[in-house]
């Protein structure tokens, strides 16, 4: 079977989703770990150091290209899958199976994905874009991201309130997306042993809850002054 | 078990043939016994329609004991109706109560075009099997049945997958109209047995290709198929298919 | 007229000799020979696959949407084979002997011995196809005993053996379809055999979706269309099972063998009301542990659990102390009918007896308790443990019962009643499975051949697959070897045109009746006549009445049937009308045959011919023959007798006391 065949069949397309999904999950771990440094309560020193490593070292900067590639692949493939899958049933049912047969979020990966994408656009324009535009192609010239976070979340204005709301909703969408996506990715990779499936299912739920709460806590921590 | 009778309102999909447009039509049936099967209730309705000079409703059915896989109604939003692990023919009217409204639709998927009313064309499943759902052994080629011992657990697992009746409820239930549960049941059945080993790789690749060609959607592991399956074919068969597919594609020479 | 063509020589060499001497067709010629197969159950699918593999050009037809739906799929219990894996003394001879005896000495020795011989190959073939038979922990095939045989020779796949075997054959068939050797026509119904120069040369089939008639040529035509139990309206057959293909062949000259031999299965779920459309079988294996009883008092309306032990009549154990609840099907069925007719029946309809698991549950519970070394256990705990064991063994059957009846069989005894299950009769065929029409074959339940007057459990699957996989591939060559000189006949040939015209005329006639009564109503009426007068017990008076009632029914049918819709569309009512019309004609012949056979044997019980204590009485001196009926005209048949010779087995009266 050619590579093309492998990745363009219905199962192959899912493999792409699975590979990129797991890659993005790994990124989330790194991202959550780094951001957790804000809770070091040291005025952002540790956080900025970590952020500096990510932005000021060529290894993570190259990986970043891969990250975007993976992200775009995940999004494009996901949207295409969603749209082709929808076309497979031209006449809709009058009464739907709904939650009797499956979880709502497992059927809503497309919508959840789009919500996450919208959140992501805001998120990138808040932090990544100002930082990279300040840096250009060089490895120096980063902005103070801790201060940027403070500026974005700690002030009290309608814009901040909306931003925080979008962040929290974005995290919720991510949580539900992961609740299905995590275990589904492993099923697509072929984990069929019941024992491992159950384990991965449990890890998936814990992961999606913990990671998303952690992310959601960041803007909230700034806003409500839980960080000194 | 107390028996009772009921009056029901039925909304049934009527469509003259594959080319014409369809619509839901409302019918009243009365004095339906709780002991009747769902299809017997349809028999009563059809007799009523014939008496009134109208065309009876076409629906697929044959064995009426839950094994041939021919019956195929989508009842109140669920393939084969409200009971778990059940076929339409084994659904009995005690699942409903007096005054209920029941909506009955055909399986809906572009790969299963409507033939008439509630009858759909499921020959796509046959073509998927033709693509590789067999062991290539001519009559007379066989060695002694006990020549190849098979681990009991594996034989049991193969049997559990082979129990699929090919009714298509999985496709009807899936939001993507995917046939992956059907496909994976056959791939698992044969992949678990040593007899299926020689063609293991080509089988999964060819069957998936055929499924795509037939116009079924891709699987997104929602699990709706498993919940609707009258034979409780496990979703983990799909994961096994994925593994078979991944292995087959990685080790292929081309 | 009847030449069974049984090879000469010793019984055990007949088949080997035949295979060694029959004519062969060379591979290049096979490609030029076309074979039509009607029906794709075990016999049809296995024949289509095997002939396709050999290189013949095969066309297979089924009325369902896929060959995988054929009713062979519903067989539960298992398939017999003389493998002797259990080292318990089984052999080809013993399987042969049991089958002949079980059939009450009304089957051919030569055919049955061949069946026993190839039985072992069937298992090997199915295993090679990936049929997941039950296995032991060591990885080897598991066996169970079935239908009261003394050896464990039944191979099974839980309660779904028929399904697994059919799927195996179906997959082999689909493989040939993919290879282009077989062309599959699903949702097609055969409506006529086309005869050219006295040979079957093709069929007229109707595409059930478009309603169009099609002509198909074949050098040979194989009917694998199953049995005709639906003549009784209520049976365990699928709704679509019908006699039409066989009946059309019969009217074209194929003799019908032993039409009255019907098997009534004792353990079915009873009728619940007038709405009943079909009956569901519960595997015979339930009789291994369940005890069958009725109240000792007539018309007792108490709930079963309120009837004390001493007021229950375990009538099978009482009448047949040696075999008890395990007597053969025909005996168990008649005994249930006898009790119900005498007013001891249970349930709302009073047409049922109890099949009780209470004592089995307790027995298993006690065994479990002692296995675990428990001494001080309450009866409740014992029952809980017992239920677990019963669930393990019969869980799927109990679930099925509960789904249909809404009653929990672990708590309340099941209600069962006999139902029509299988028809031993069918198209008469010779040793080569050819009917009295040249080039026309019948395989599986559609032929009359191997089960005599009563079929033993787990032997229908065996026969269907034996015919399709291992018999027809040899015997058809013997005929087709001479056919290579005959070019395919164009379907524009006069015979095809007139056959199609006749089919078309009949369809139009049916549609034009425009009467007032639905097909279903006629079918129900026919079923009632057949069940009441040609069912489990028959007598001359009843049969004579039945014949005239059926003749009357036929007249009414052709005057008053109401078929909605049109010919040129998907029209299930029209399909059904054609089938019921044929059932009506068959029903008459069954009664004629039953009237002619003035003896009781196997499933055929004539009340005039019984012993003082109500057991069947055979008359070997007068009726040791196959009754093969030749169709002459409406209501007119000629009886041909094929005498049965028992060279190896000495017929004796069956005794289960």
Nearest by CB to A189, from B209, B242, B248: name it: B242
Q: What residues does C174 pair with on adjacent strands?
A: none
Are the CB atoms for A68 and A132 separated by under 8 Å?
A: no
CA atoms within 13 A on the CB side of C238: 26
Residue C587, pLDDT score: 98
Which tokens in the block code for residue B75? 């009842």
Write the pLDDT tens digit of every residue in C474-507. 999 999 999 999 899 999 999 999 999 999 999 9
Q: What is the pLDDT of residues C343-400, one digit of tens each?
A: 999 998 899 999 999 999 999 999 999 988 888 889 999 999 999 989 888 888 898 8
pLDDT at A62 over 90: yes
Place of tokens 């902005």: A143
Question: For residue C177, what is the nearest residue in chain B, using CA coordinates?
Answer: B130
Interface of B with A in 48-77 (CB under 8 A): 74, 76-77
Q: What per-residue confidence (pLDDT) applies to C159? A: 86
- B225 CB neighbours in chain A (<8 A) are 101
C-alpha–C-alpha distance, residues B155 and B99, integer Å: 47
Give which of C155, A36, A1 is closest to B244, Cα–Cα: A1
> B144: distance to nearest CA of chain A, Å?
31
CB C427 within 8 A of CB C246: yes
Distance from CA of C123 to the nearest CA of B (A): 6
In terms of CA atoms, which chain C residue is nearest residue B3?
C406
Which of B 203-222 lie inside 8 A of A, CB atoms?
Answer: 205, 208-209, 211-212, 215-222
β-strand pairing of B78-79 with B114-116: unpaired
Nearest C-alpha in B relative to A186: B239
Residue B1's pLDDT is: 60
Nearest-CA distance A90 → chain B (Å): 6
Token pair for C514: 């425009």
Express each pLDDT in C233-275 by its tens digit.
Answer: 999 999 999 999 999 999 999 999 999 999 999 999 999 999 9
Instruction: Enumerate the residues of chain A whose CB falls inside 8 A of the CB of residue B223.
Output: 101-103, 106
pLDDT for residue C559 = 98
DSSP C344: I
b/e C618-653 (16+ beta carbons within 10 angstroms → b): bebeebbbbbbbbbeeeeebeebebebeeeebeeee
Average pLDDT for C114-140: 97
Q: pLDDT per residue over C565-600, tens digit each?
A: 999 999 999 999 999 999 999 999 999 999 999 999
User: Is the residue at C366 inside a domain?
Assistant: yes
DSSP code per residue over C317-335: HHH-TTTGGGS-HHHHHHH
Residues of chain C contacting B111 with CB distance shorter than 8 Å: none
Is B108's CB within 8 Å of A91's CB?
yes
Q: Reduced to 3 states, what is the DSSP secondary structure of residue C368?
A: helix
pLDDT per position as a tens digit, C178-229: 999 999 999 999 999 999 999 999 999 999 999 999 999 999 999 999 999 9
C229 in a structural domain: no
Q: Which of residues 14-33 of B touch A (CB under 8 A)?
A: 22, 24
Neighbours of chain B (3+ CB pairs under 8 A): A, C
Ramachandran assignment for A136, one of left (phi > 0), alpha (psi -120 to 50 degrees), beta (any other): left
User: Cα(A96)–Cα(B175) distance, rounded to whole angstroms?
Assistant: 10
Tell me the CATH architecture of domain B123-251: Orthogonal Bundle (1.10)
Q: CA of B4, closest CA in chain A: separation in Å? A: 27
Q: Would you list the domain boundaries of chain B?
A: 5-105, 123-251
CATH number of the domain encompassing residue C571: 1.20.58.100
Identify which of B110, B222, B225 has the shortest CB distance to residue A107: B222
Chain C contact present for B190, CB below 8 A: yes
CB-closest option in B130, B137, B142 to C174: B130
Architecture of domain A10-85+104-223: Up-down Bundle (1.20)
Whole-model pTM over 0.90: yes
Does residue C128 sit at the B interface (CB-CB below 8 Å)?
Answer: yes
- Domain spanning B5-105 has what CATH number? 3.10.20.30
B68 and C138 within 8 Å at the Cβ level: the answer is no
* Beta strand spans in C102-187 (E): 154-155, 182-185
Distance between CA C368 and CA C4 in Å, rounded? 55
Q: Between B218, B222, B252, which is nearest A14 by CB?
A: B218
- Nearest CA to CA, how far is B30 from chain A (Å)? 23
Q: Domain map of chain A by residue range? A: 10-85+104-223
pLDDT per residue over B62-110, tens digit each?
999 999 999 999 999 999 999 999 999 999 999 999 999 999 999 999 9
| Closest by Cβ to C135, choosing from B133, B150, B196 | B150
Region C123-127: what's the mean pLDDT? Answer: 98
Q: Which residue has the tokens 């952002």?
A: A44
**CB atoms A81 and B218 under 8 Å:** yes
DSSP chain A: --HHHHHHSHHHHHHHHHHHHHHHHHHHHHHHHHHGGGGG-STTHHHHHHHHHHHHSHHHHHHHHHHHHHHHHHHHHHHHHHHHHHHT-SSPPSS--GGGTS-HHHH-HHHHHHHHHHHHHHHIIIIIHHHHHHHTTSS-----HHHHHHHHHTS-SHHHHHHHHHHHHHHHHHHHHHHHHHHHHHHHTT---HHHHHHHHHHHHHHHHHHHHHHHHHHHHHHTT---
Share of chain C above pLDDT 90, in %: 89
Q: Which of B176, B209, B237 sits opposite A88 (nearest CB)?
A: B176
Residue C148 pLDDT greater than 80, yes or no: no
In a domain, C617, yes or no: yes
CA distance C72 to C234: 18
In angstroms, what separates the C-alpha of B64 from chain C's closest C-alpha? 7
Nearest-by-CA chain A residue for B237: A192
B234: pLDDT strictly greater than 70 = yes
Task: Report d(CA B7, CA C194) in Å as an integer.
Answer: 50
Comparing A39-48, B162-171, C11-20, C56-65, which segment has the lowest mean pLDDT?
A: A39-48
Looking at every residue in chain C, the average pLDDT score rounds to: 95
pLDDT of residue C147: 67
The token pair at C289 is 């542990």
Picking from B55, B62, B110, the residue whose alpha carbon sits closest to that of residue B88 is B62
* Contact (CB, 8 A) for C445 and C464: yes
A93 and B176 within 8 Å at the Cβ level: the answer is no
Min Cα separation B57/chain C (Å): 9
Tell me if B68 and C46 make a contact (CB, 8 A cut-off). Answer: no
pLDDT at position C99: 94
Q: How many domains does chain C have?
A: 2
Instruction: Please report the pLDDT score of residue A188 as a whole number.
Output: 96
How many other CB atoms sit within 10 Å of the CB of residue B3?
13
Q: Tell me which of C420, C454, C474 is where a domain ends.
A: C420
**With bands split at pLDDT 50, 70 and 90, how would you rate the model's confidence at B254?**
confident
Residue C243 maps to a domain: no
pLDDT at residue A157 tops 90? yes
> Which residues in chain B have Cβ-Cβ distances shorter than 8 Å to C167?
162
Dihedral pair phi/psi, residue B82, rounded to 5° = -70, -25
Q: Which of B142, B162, B189 sits opposite C124 (nearest CB)?
A: B142
Size of interface A-B (CB pairs under 8 A): 155
What is the three-class DSSP state of B166? coil
Q: How far apart are CA B123 and CA C24, in angstroms?
A: 36
For residue A2, which residues of chain B lie inside 8 Å, CB to CB?
254
Which of B56, B145, B162 is nearest residue C573 as measured by Cβ atoms? B56
Q: Do B165 and C140 touch (CB under 8 A)?
A: no
Q: Which of residues 120-179 of B touch A (CB under 8 A)?
A: 173, 175-178
The single residue listed with the structure tokens 């005690």 is B94
Judge whether C481 lies within some domain.
Answer: no
The yes/no answer to whether this complex scores an ipTM above 0.90 is yes
Range of the domain at C611: 498-635
Could you give the CA distance from residue C369 to residue C392 in angstroms, rounded to a whole number? 16
Task: Please say if the pLDDT value at position C656 is more than 80.
Answer: no
The predicted structure's pLDDT at residue B253: 82
CATH number of the domain within which C353 lies: 3.90.700.10
Give the neighbours of chain A: at least 3 Cβ pairs within 8 Å: B
* Closest CB to B212 among A9, A97, A109: A9
C405 and C532 belong to one structural domain: no
Cβ–Cβ contacts within 10 Å for residue C558, how many?
Answer: 14
**A204-208 long-range contacts, Cβ below 8 Å, gap at least 24?**
A204/A178, A204/A179, A205/A179, A207/A25, A207/A178, A207/A182, A208/A174, A208/A175, A208/A176, A208/A177, A208/A178, A208/A179, A208/A182
- Mutation target for C interface from B36, B60, B145: give the one with most C CBs within 10 A: B145
| C66: in domain | no
């Amino acid at each position: 079977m050619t590579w093309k065949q492998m990745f363009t069949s219905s199962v192959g397309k899912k493999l792409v989703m699975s590979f990129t999904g797991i890659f993005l999950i790994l990124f989330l771990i790194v991202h959550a770990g780094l951001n957790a440094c804000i809770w070091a309560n040291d005025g952002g020193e540790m956080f900025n150091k970590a952020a500096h490593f990510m932005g000021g070292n060529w290894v993570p900067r190259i990986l970043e290209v891969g990250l975007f590639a993976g992200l775009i692949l995940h999004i494009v493939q996901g949207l295409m899958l969603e749209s082709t899958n929808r076309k497979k049933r031209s006449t809709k049912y009058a009464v739907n199976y709904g939650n009797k047969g499956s979880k709502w979020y497992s059927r809503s990966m497309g919508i959840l994905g789009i919500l996450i994408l919208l959140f992501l656009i805001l998120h990138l324009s808040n932090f990544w874009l100002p930082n990279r535009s300040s840096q250009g192609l060089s490895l120096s010239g980063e902005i103070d991201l801790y201060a940027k976070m403070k500026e974005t979340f700690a002030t009290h204005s309608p814009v901040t309130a909306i931003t925080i709301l979008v962040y929290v909703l974005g995290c919720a969408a991510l949580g539900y997306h992961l609740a299905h996506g995590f275990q589904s990715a492993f099923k697509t990779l072929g984990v069929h042993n019941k024992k491992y499936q159950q384990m991965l299912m449990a890890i998936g739920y814990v992961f999606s809850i913990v990671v998303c709460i952690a992310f959601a806590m960041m803007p909230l921590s700034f806003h409500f002054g839980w960080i000194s | 078990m107390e028996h009772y009778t009921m009056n029901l309102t039925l909304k049934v999909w009527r469509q003259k043939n594959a080319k014409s447009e369809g619509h839901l039509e409302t019918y009243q049936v009365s004095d339906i016994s709780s002991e009747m099967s769902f299809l017997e209730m349809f028999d009563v309705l059809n007799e009523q329609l014939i008496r009134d000079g109208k065309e009876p409703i076409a629906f697929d059915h044959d064995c009426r004991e839950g094994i041939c896989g021919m019956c195929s109604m989508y009842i109140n939003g669920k393939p084969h109706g409200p009971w778990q692990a059940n076929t339409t023919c084994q659904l009995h009217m005690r699942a409903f109560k007096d005054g209920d409204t029941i909506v009955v639709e055909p399986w809906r998927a572009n790969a299963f075009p409507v033939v008439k009313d509630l009858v759909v064309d499921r020959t796509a499943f046959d073509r998927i099997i033709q693509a590789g759902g067999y062991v290539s052994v001519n009559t007379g080629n066989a060695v002694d049945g006990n020549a190849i011992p098979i681990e009991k657990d594996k034989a049991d697992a193969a049997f559990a997958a082979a129990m699929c009746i090919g009714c298509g409820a999985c496709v009807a239930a899936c939001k993507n109209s995917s046939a992956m549960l059907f496909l994976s049941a056959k791939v698992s059945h044969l992949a678990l047995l040593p007899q299926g080993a020689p063609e293991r790789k080509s089988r999964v690749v060819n069957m998936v290709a055929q499924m795509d060609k037939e116009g079924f959607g891709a699987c997104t592991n929602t699990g709706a198929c498993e919940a609707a399956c009258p034979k409780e074919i496990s979703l983990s068969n799909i994961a096994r298919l994925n593994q078979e597919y991944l292995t087959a594609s990685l080790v292929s020479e081309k | 007229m009847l030449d069974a063509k049984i090879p000469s020589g010793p019984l055990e060499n007949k088949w080997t000799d035949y295979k060694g001497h029959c004519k062969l067709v060379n591979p290049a010629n096979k490609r030029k020979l076309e074979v039509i197969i009607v029906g794709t159950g075990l016999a049809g699918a296995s024949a289509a696959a095997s002939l396709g593999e050999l290189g013949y050009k095969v066309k297979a037809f089924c009325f369902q949407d896929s060959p995988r739906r054929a009713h062979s799929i519903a067989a539960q219990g298992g398939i017999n084979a003389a493998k002797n894996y259990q080292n318990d003394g089984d052999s080809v001879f013993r399987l042969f002997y049991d089958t002949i005896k079980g059939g009450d000495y009304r089957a051919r020795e030569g055919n049955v011995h061949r069946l026993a011989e190839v039985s072992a190959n069937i298992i090997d073939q199915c295993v090679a196809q990936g049929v997941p038979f039950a296995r032991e922990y060591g990885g080897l095939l598991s066996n169970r005993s079935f239908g009261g045989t003394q050896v464990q020779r039944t191979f099974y796949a839980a309660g779904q053996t028929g399904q697994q075997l059919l799927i195996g054959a179906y997959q082999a068939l689909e493989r040939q379809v993919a290879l282009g050797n077989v062309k599959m026509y699903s949702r097609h119904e055969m409506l006529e055999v086309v005869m050219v120069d006295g040979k079957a040369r093709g069929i007229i089939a109707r595409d059930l979706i478009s309603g169009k008639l099609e002509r198909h040529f074949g050098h040979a035509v194989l009917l694998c269309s199953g049995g005709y139990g639906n003549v009784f309206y209520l049976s365990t057959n699928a709704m679509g099972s019908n006699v039409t293909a066989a009946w059309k062949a019969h009217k074209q000259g194929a003799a019908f063998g032993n039409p009255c031999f019907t098997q009534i299965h004792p353990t079915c779920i009873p009728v619940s009301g007038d709405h009943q459309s079909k009956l569901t079988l519960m595997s015979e294996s339930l009789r291994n542990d369940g005890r069958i009883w009725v109240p000792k008092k007539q018309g007792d309306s108490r709930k079963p659990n309120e009837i004390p032990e001493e007021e229950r009549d375990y009538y099978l154990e009482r009448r047949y102390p040696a075999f008890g609840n395990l007597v053969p099907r025909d005996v168990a069925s008649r005994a249930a009918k006898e009790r119900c007719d005498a007013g001891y029946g249970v349930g709302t309809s009073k047409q049922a007896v109890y099949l009780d698991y209470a004592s089995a549950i307790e027995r298993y519970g006690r065994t479990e308790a002692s296995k675990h070394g428990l001494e001080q256990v309450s009866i409740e705990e014992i029952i809980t443990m017992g239920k677990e064991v019963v669930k393990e063994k019969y869980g799927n059957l109990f679930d099925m019962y509960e789904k249909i009846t809404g009653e929990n069989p672990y708590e309340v005894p099941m209600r069962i009643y006999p139902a029509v299950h299988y028809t031993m009769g069918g198209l008469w065929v010779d040793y080569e499975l050819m009917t009295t029409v040249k080039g026309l074959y019948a395989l599986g339940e559609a032929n009359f051949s191997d089960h005599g007057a009563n079929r033993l459990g787990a032997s229908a699957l065996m026969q269907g697959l034996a015919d399709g996989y291992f018999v027809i591939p040899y015997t058809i060559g013997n005929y087709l070897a001479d056919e290579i000189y005959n070019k395919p006949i164009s379907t524009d040939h006069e015979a095809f045109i007139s056959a199609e015209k006749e089919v078309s005329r009949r369809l139009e006639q049916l549609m034009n009746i425009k009467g007032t009564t639905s097909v279903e109503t006629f079918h129900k009426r026919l079923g009632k006549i057949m069940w009441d007068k040609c069912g489990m017990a028959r007598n001359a008076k009843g049969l004579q009445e039945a014949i005239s009632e059926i003749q009357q029914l036929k007249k009414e049918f052709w005057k008053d049937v109401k078929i909605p819709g049109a010919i040129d569309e998907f029209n299930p009512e029209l399909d059904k009308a054609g089938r019921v019309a044929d059932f009506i004609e068959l029903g008459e012949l069954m009664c004629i045959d039953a009237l002619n056979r003035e003896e009781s044997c196997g499933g055929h019980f004539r009340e005039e011919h019984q012993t003082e204590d109500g057991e069947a009485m055979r008359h070997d001196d007068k009726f040791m023959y196959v009754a093969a009926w030749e169709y002459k005209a409406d209501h007119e048949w000629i009886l041909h007798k094929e005498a049965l010779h028992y060279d190896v087995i000495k017929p004796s009266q069956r005794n289960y006391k």
